[in-house]
Amino acid sequence: MSKETQDRPNASAVPSSASAPPSGEKADAEAKAVADEKPAADEKPAADEKPAADEKPADGKPAAATPAQEKSAEEAKPAAAAKPAPSAGTKPAAAAAARPAPAKKAPPPPDPRVEAAKAVAEQIRDVIAASLGQEAVEEVGAAHHTPMVRVRRESWVETVDLLKRHDDWKLNYLELMAGTDYPNYIEVVVYIQSTALGHFVCLKTRTPRENAEIPSLVSVHPGVNWEEREIYDLLGVTFTGHPDLRRIMMWDGFEGHPLRKDYNVWAAKEDTDGTD
């Protein structure tokens, strides 16, 4: 276990492995295991800033946000690099004891790409709120580097349709639809691309696990027909208004929804025993 935690920071430090940060990061990791995505974020901005900008050419925000973030990241780095010269990789415990405060302070520099994504998500929130009301949007954030907006399921179809037709967004090319079973709800997510404007956005909605039901998107994006059937089949979400909601992967007589976390393979086997 301890070995793994030691391995990890090294891996995230690959980009600039020659510099000193490892020990600082090690302290970091020991202080808080969750924080270990931050060191990676530190080293990103310079190298990978371009793709993020490419993805959203239409709005000025990301470009504006980046330099500021970059500077703060750069300020943080020399501070970390200056200190832990002598016992670089050998004694992480000492390093951790020596400067627990800076290690705690280091995490804040957020990834500029995440910040840019959040800014875009907020713009989308405003667009949705303007025509469907404030209460339509439940959460705004970023799914990794992609803007993410979660809407309530009553507004699901209207939202997707609105963003498809909206002149500033034109999200016309739905690339991915996926469902995930969480302990208290099932979440359906779509990743939609605007082929004209270059936006790439993640939209979500949730349904309770019992009587899971979400309005179907087939009327807006006919291409989700089979994806919705698959989610119905494997996760047990009923898509209301779907033209042809049947099982697609499993056979018609199959019981249960295999991708649900509480699906028990062995229980199902005993029930159908040999009938397959």
Determine the interface stretch with other proteins among 98-106, 115-123, 125-133, 217-225 (rule: CB under 8 A). Answer: 217-225
Q: What angle do CA 126, 131, 160 make, to 5 degrees?
A: 85
* Three-state SS sequence of 15-72: HHCCCCCHHHHHHHHHHCHHHHHHHHHHHHHHHHHHHHHHHCCCCCHHHHHHHHHHHH
**If 0-12 CB within 10 Å is exposed, 13-18 middle and 19+ buried, where does residue 263 land?**
middle
Determine which residue in the list 224, 228, 242, 245 makes contact with other proteins, applying CB under 8 A.
224
Q: Is 180 in the site for other proteins (CB under 8 A)?
A: yes
Determine the interface stretch with other proteins among 71-79, 124-132, 242-250, 268-276 (rule: CB under 8 A). Answer: 242-250
- Nearer to other proteins by Cβ, of 49 and 55: the residue is 55
Q: Is 176 in the site for other proteins (CB under 8 A)?
A: yes
The first and second tokens of residue 96, run together, are 């951790």
Q: Is 115 in the site for other proteins (CB under 8 A)?
A: no
Determine which residue in the list 19, 32, 51, 185 makes contact with other proteins, applying CB under 8 A.
51
Annotate each residue in 188-207 with x if it binds other proteins (CB under 8 A) or - if it does not, as one string: -x-x---x----x-x-----
- Helix, strand, coil percentages for the chain (3-state, nearest 5): 50, 15, 30
Annotate each residue in 127-146 with x if it binds other proteins (CB under 8 A) or - if it does not, as one string: ----------------xx-x
